[in-house]
Structure 1
């Protein structure tokens, strides 16, 4: 019984496959520009810098077009029409160097090769009469690359090196050398040395241009890295400042608030014969101090981190407005609360947390403003829900207390904060003094938070 034959080994064509891939990549780089058709300095801040590439290529075209035309007529004795056609094909594409250098190189390269083949034809000097008193006239010697053609081609290579990749530049250089070698083999007697001079000078120009391009890219990457580092330093500075503020709040404010809480709790035991009203007042002071400590701890967690820890803590809402009003009444401010019967139902149906918190903060800030600026003023707090919206109204009349207000001026941050909260929930806010005296704060919030609307310029208000 014959054994099954083993599978034949795969052909060893790894080197050929690699060469084929490299040639395909080289051809792709020569046929596909590596950059968008925009000129250099397109992002420059000044207009003259953006126009500079166009001015340079226009000047090159204006110089090389007549020079090439005149050289072909005088040195190679071509007719006017043929000389003009070759000059246009070899010099006019220089206008494309600013935004499409690879396409310009293809046109110029093909035109130069065709021009070299045209110059192989017999010239007019070969048919000139030979004078008897001197040597015969010398024919043209600048072949295959006449001086104007060579200099214009070097400028083309320079612009190309500023924009294209190394693989594309290598392909351009190889094709330049191959074209020169082919022309040399066709007519070795006509070669004056430019066949081998152009690849050498072209290699130098391409290396210089590529070095400038890579240096510019390195500088741009360095600037980007410095910008990122500066943003990171600014972020670290912000975090350090927030940590410092949190530390100072903890060391100073938290200490004093803790002392107030301890003193208020221990006062009924330290002071004999204390009336029941005084005991209740001390209990209220201790409860307010504890609530302030809780709020401050939440603020400290936000300052010391990215805010996620503070957001996990329970946030106050409409269910605590009653406690807020009672605490304000104990401070001596006559406040009445009117809570619509539909509000608890709206809370039960899933009131938006942002709207719930915003309504509480608006009432809190409005009552704080009354305490600071209009002590003793009668105040009405109304919270109702209708038509898919929550209405919060805080109205106070003129203060009746004979003593001076706690603050005569404000920073305006309280009303600005109210307006920002309302804007973020998609609601509206109306604030301002009343004609008969007093102040009014009216907020209309959607029961479910809507996307924020663009802010309007708030009127200068005080808090």
Structure 2
């Protein structure tokens, strides 16, 4: 014969249902403790204290005069039924055990020792205090706790009503159970709504962080695609020089010629691997990625394009600067100026701008300054577009070269972008 497992059947179901009542929440943070204003943080405790001050003398008076209990017994029951409301601010479930137990004991004592004809089984003050307790309980505890609380309340009310049959006073157990359910439903709905809003805010924060991370990764991939041409040019030079060295240098030893041949082969293999890498980094705009990469020498054309978009730009750069810059530095300088001017067209249409480039102490100084936009100016940003993510792209390009970027508004309402790019791109210097 197979025996049923322990705890099965009706008894096991009741035990499982009532189990949450013996497991109070580990979170003892008072209600509204995370509010920004101090008076709101102290509001629940103040309301609980006001409720105790109002209910305590009323409960003593009702239990003594309306239900005929002795003054000492009435005072003790009143204290047990009201003072635990202060505990409900941070520990509502233990407070429910205290208040609920005191209410049941008080009803039993009224049935046994009372002489009044007031309604049973819940004295009016005890019912009010119990309903006040239900609100913080519903705001703190989950649904798996609220349902057993309501069932225990209904069961206790039914048992006390049956015990008080024939009492001259009325029966208010149905009213107590109904009001308790209403308060628990409303409080639980408020709690679940607040929890849903909190989870939504957390998800939005996570989504924003993930969006920023994705934007940064896209910008880094774009910069890597652009720098491919620069690196490929150097690798091509190495391959050509290594392959032609045995023919350009007379009397070269055989071992050295073999070394040059190996270097040329390695360079060509590296170029092939770089082409595969570039294929991985290609975006949907593959045609744009195959165009030659610009440099400082193309800034004049960029300034002309921005001028046609309605933003007059003044360019100050030495003519010989284009040939003096390393390709990576020239490309980064061009992209920084391009993004800065695109931001001017987008956010300050019609404002005058000035672009200046200068070399100082083995560093390239790039400055883009614009004034305040004129009133009612219309943007023509479709004519001038940046290639990256604005300031995010500028910072990544400067970081790549171990440089420095300063951006910020000016007192006259304009904006300034200033970048310092070291000309030594070997990575041995720091900004």
Q: Normalising TM by the smaller chain, what interval?
A: 0.5 to 0.7
- SS at 2:8's partner residue? helix
Matched, 1:53 2:44: yes
Give the whole-Å Cα distance in 2 for the aligned partners of 1:40 and 1:164: 12
Structure 1 residue 267, shift from structure 2 partner: 8.1
Q: Which runs of 4+ in 1 moved over 6 A?
A: 266-271, 410-417
Q: Distance in 1 between matches of 2:224 and 2:430?
A: 27
Question: What is the CA-CA distance between 1:415 and the residue it aligns to?
Answer: 12
The equivalent residue for 2:146 is 169
Contact 1:144 1:191 in 2 (8 A): no
Partner of 2:230: 253
For residues 189 and 15 of structure 2, what CA distance do their matches in structure 1 show? 25
Structure 2: 5+ residue runs without aligned partners? 282-358, 366-397, 404-428
8 Å CA contact 1:144–1:195 kept in 2: the answer is yes
* Partner Cα distance (1:117, 1:172) in 2: 20
What's 2:395 paired with? none
Which of 99, 123, 135 is the aligned partner of 1:146? 123
Partner residue, 1:119 = 110
1:360-375 equivalence runs, <5 A: none
In the other structure, the counterpart of 2:175 is 197
Separation in 1, partners of 2:78, 2:242: 101
CA distance in 2, matches of 1:18, 1:214: 32
**Which residue of the partner structure matches residue 186 of structure 1?**
163
Counterpart CA distance in 2 for 1:83 and 1:16 is 41
Determine if contact 1:143/1:190 at 8 Å carries over to the other structure: no
Deviations 1:55-76 (A, max 9, x none): 2322222222222223334433
Q: Which residue, out of 227, 235, 244, partners 2:222?
A: 244
Where does structure 1 lack aligned partners over 5 or more consecutive residues? 1-7, 127-138, 306-404, 418-460
Q: Whose RCO is larger (CA < 8 A, sep 6+)?
A: 2
Counterparts of residues 9-158 of structure 1 (less than 5 Å): 10-11=2-3, 13=4, 17-120=8-111, 139-158=116-135
The change in CA–CA distance for 1:270 and 1:34 in structure 2 (over 3 A counts) is same
**Rg larger in 1 or in 2?**
1
What does the per-residue CA deviation read over 1:376-401, in whole Å, with 9 as the maximum and x for residues that have no partner? Answer: xxxxxxxxxxxxxxxxxxxxxxxxxx
Tell me if the contact between 1:154 and 1:202 (Cα under 8 Å) persists in the aligned partners: yes
Instruction: State which of 191, 195, 205 in structure 2 corresponds to 1:213.
Output: 191
**How far, CA to CA, are the matches of 1:243 and 1:185 in structure 2?**
77
Q: Structure 2 vs 1, CA of residues 413 and 232 (structure 1 numbering), >3 Å: closer, same or farther?
A: closer
Offset at residue 414 of structure 1 (A): 11
Q: Is the 8 A contact 1:410 1:462 kept in 2?
A: no
What CA distance in whole angstroms lies between the structure 1 residues aligned with 2:226 and 2:40? 52
* d(CA) in 1 for partners of 2:14, 2:138: 20
Deviation at 1:50, TM superposition (A): 3.1
Whole-Å separation in 2 of the counterparts to 1:167 and 1:143? 29
Q: CA deviation at 1:259?
A: 5.7
Task: Determine the C-alpha separation between the residues in 1 that align with 2:194 and 2:221.
Answer: 40
Q: Deviations over 1:68-95 (max 9, x none)?
A: 2233344335443222212101100100
How many Å separate the matches in 2 of 1:201 and 1:230? 43
Counterpart for residue 324 of structure 1: none
Q: TM-score, normalised by structure 2?
A: 0.55
- Report the CA distance between 1:177 and its aligned residue: 1.6
What SS is found at the alignment partner of 2:226?
A: helix
Aligned-residue CA RMSD (Å): 4.4
Alignment map for 1:285-364 (pairs within 5 Å):
none
